[in-house]
Amino acid sequence: MPSLAQVLAEHTREGTLWEPLDSRRIRCFACGHSCPIFEGQTGVCKVRFNRGGKLYVPWGYVAGAHCDPIEKKPFFHVRPGAAAYSFGMLGCSLHCPFCQNWVSSQALRDPRAICPPSLASPEEIVREAVAWGAEVMVSTYNEPLITAEWAVEVFQQARRHGLLTGFVSNGYANPRVLEYLRPWLELYKVDLKCFDERNYRRLGAQLALVLDSIRQIHQMGFWMEVVTLVVPGFNDSDEELGRIADFLAGESCDIPWHVTAFHSDYKMDDVQNTPPQTLARAAQIGRRAGLRYIYAGNLPGAIGGGEDTLCPGCGARLIRRHGFRVLDYRLTPEGRCPACSTAIPGRWAPAFRPKRGLWAL
Ligand code: SF4
């Protein structure tokens, strides 16, 4: 019986994001690793490989596809209540021990991660999204940068049907892949996992490159929201949360910052779940740094008002949420506060039309 790596190697095609390096190696530049790859070898992600002096990349399958509320991605400043059709492949450029999605992200590293791929064409994926009434197409579940060519192929089809397109990513990018994505990608959610170089290296990345990417994503005009999964004992000190918040506020106080709760999982099943008090403390630290939109997430109703959008001008409650549900929506069609006309940054729809019935929370 063929291994998963052998099966996936069949579902590839020559990629775009690479260049010859010397007589024996090529370089992939789809993510921050910028791997030099010898003939017959894979890059760090294990899904892109050098065959005959060319880079082959994942193509023609999904490991998961679901219609989710956009609040689950999470994007809170993009068409609240919309359906986001979400698809993913396999593999990741990092190996976080607290990964909440490890079955797909660590599929080629960890033999316990069993997630068989299903063949799919971009047309089929988009047809399904349209049938669900989705307004947004999102590449997620695995790290989308390492499967960027496939995502762009799907996004090109999605655009023809008027869908917005998004990445849910670890943000370990570089300027070249961001330039490649920009014509086809509008929304970018980045995980900023901590603010400590040594800890980032334990996850398999460099903090400085993630910070550079966040600056570039913002400056290139993607709509970006940043998430920090707050893990007890890893990144939950006042000092570390303060450094994350200060960095984001230094880039723009309008970047939404989601602080979300870890639940015991994967290689950190001995670590306690994040209590609501920790998220409330993180939100307070974010406010002190000057951030205007901070969301304490994935513990519905546990932090009073922590999921809501408030007007930074007059304090009016503009969007009230509980989990993935939008309970109240008061923005004007132009995305302004109806009380004081302050413009709220985001990608708003002219009218609030929530896609009901897809989710319970
Ligand atoms: S996507 Fe990243 S990890 Fe994978 S081969 Fe390319 S540079 Fe290396």
Between 9-13, 131-135, 291-295, 312-316, the lowest mean confidence (pLDDT) is in: 9-13
Ligand 1 nearest-atom number relative to CA 145: 1
Structure letter (DSSP) for residue 70: G
Convert the pLDDT of each residue in 78-104 to its tens digit. 999 999 999 999 999 999 998 878 888
Q: With 60 as the cut, is the pLDDT of residue 255 above it? A: yes
CA-based max dimension of the chain: 65
pLDDT score at 98? 86
Asked whether the beta carbons of 87 and 61 are under 8 A apart, the reply is: no
- Count the neighbouring beta carbons within 10 Å of the beta carbon of residue 313: 15
Q: Which helix (H) or strand (E) holds 188?
A: strand 187-191
Distance (Å, whole) CA 209 – CA 305: 34
Identify whether the C-beta of residue 84 lies closer than 8 Å to the C-beta of residue 69.
Answer: yes
Q: Which atom of ligand 1 is nearest to the CA of 18?
A: 6
Q: How many CA atoms lie within 13 A of 247 on its CB side?
A: 23
List residues near ligand 1 (CB under 6 A): 28, 30-31, 33-35, 43-45, 48, 93, 146
Protein residue closest via CA to atom 5 of ligand 1: 43
Only one residue has tokens 């015991």, namely 264
DSSP state of 172: -
List pLDDT tens digits, range 52-63: 999 999 999 999
